Amino acid sequence: MADARDYVASETLRNGLPVTVRALRPDDRDLAFDIYDPATGAQVGVAKENISIWLKLLRFVVNKRLLPTLVEVREREGGRVVLAMRRGFTLVRSYVTVTDGLGKEIGRFKSKLFSIGGGFHVLDGMEQPVAEIKGDWKGWNFRFLTPDGTEIGRVTKKWAGLGKELFTSADNYVISLSESHVIRADAMPLLLAAGLAIDTIYKEK
């Protein structure tokens, strides 16, 4: 799954229908994201939040962005975990640990202390910078920038392959990595996780 450079993430509920989760009450949520290859339309993965019942209840009184969460990515429903993103309790700055299918840490996300448009830093397993995520919550446009400022990817509602807006909701979007720049093989799943984390970990309320 992590070999492809473009993914469509479509937010779904238990019945598998696309929805806008912001319109739902917290007790109605069973959040998941179906991941598709936009070139073929084939589903290549599914991402789901996996948290305990007490954390779900705690969200009624505490902002979910301050609470721990775990998002697991599988190639298919019920399949093995290929990527996982875990965040602990958050006060000022959040840290998200990313692990592979064997549970080995492959990187981390570190939120910015002050950010006007939203974003975070992507670090590899040695805590070296891979990219900075810069973006616009309102327009749902995010860029992946290397430390020298080179753009190596985007998260957007538009896909260059079609040249038009794919969806009417910010809950459906495309994660696209640049084909004109060499991206380390070990960084590609980390960048896919970063694209999903924008909504599943940093944006959702």
Nearest alpha-carbon partner for 167 in 204, 140, 129: 140
Q: What is the dihedral of CA 160, 12, 142, 121, to 10 degrees?
A: -130
pTM: 0.80
Position 22 scores a pLDDT of 25
- Contact assessment for residue 183 and residue 123, using Cβ atoms and an 8 Å cutoff: no
Instruction: Pick the closest to residue 143 from 127, 122, 163 (CA basis).
Output: 122
- Integer Cα distance of 13 and 4 in angstroms: 25
Residue 118 located in a structural domain: yes
CATH of the domain at 43: 2.40.160
Whether 11 is in a domain gets the answer yes
Place of tokens 């592979």: 100
Rounded CA-CA distance 129/152 in Å is: 13
Q: How far is CA 98 from CA 36, 86, 88, 135, 197, in A?
A: 21, 7, 12, 21, 10
In a domain, residue 1? The reply is no
Q: What is the DSSP letter of 22?
A: G
Q: For residue 195, which of 91, 70, 85, 114 has the smallest C-alpha distance? A: 85
Q: How far is CA 101 from the centre of its chain?
A: 17
Angle at 28 between CA 82 and CA 202, to 5 degrees: 50
Instruction: Show the domain range for 135.
Output: 6-203
Q: Record the tokens describing residue 111, joined without a space.
A: 């939120």
Is 37 a member of any domain?
A: yes
The rounded average pLDDT for each run of 10 residues, N- to C-terminus, in the chain (205 residues) is 70 48 35 78 84 88 87 89 91 87 94 67 93 80 90 77 48 79 84 85 63
Inside any domain, residue 95: yes
User: What is the 8-class DSSP label of residue 64?
Assistant: G
In a domain, 104, yes or no: yes
Residues 48 and 54 sit within 8 Å (Cβ to Cβ): no
pLDDT at 96: 93
Q: How far apart are CA 193 and CA 201, in angstroms?
A: 10
**How many domains does the chain contain in total?**
1
Is 172 domain-assigned? yes
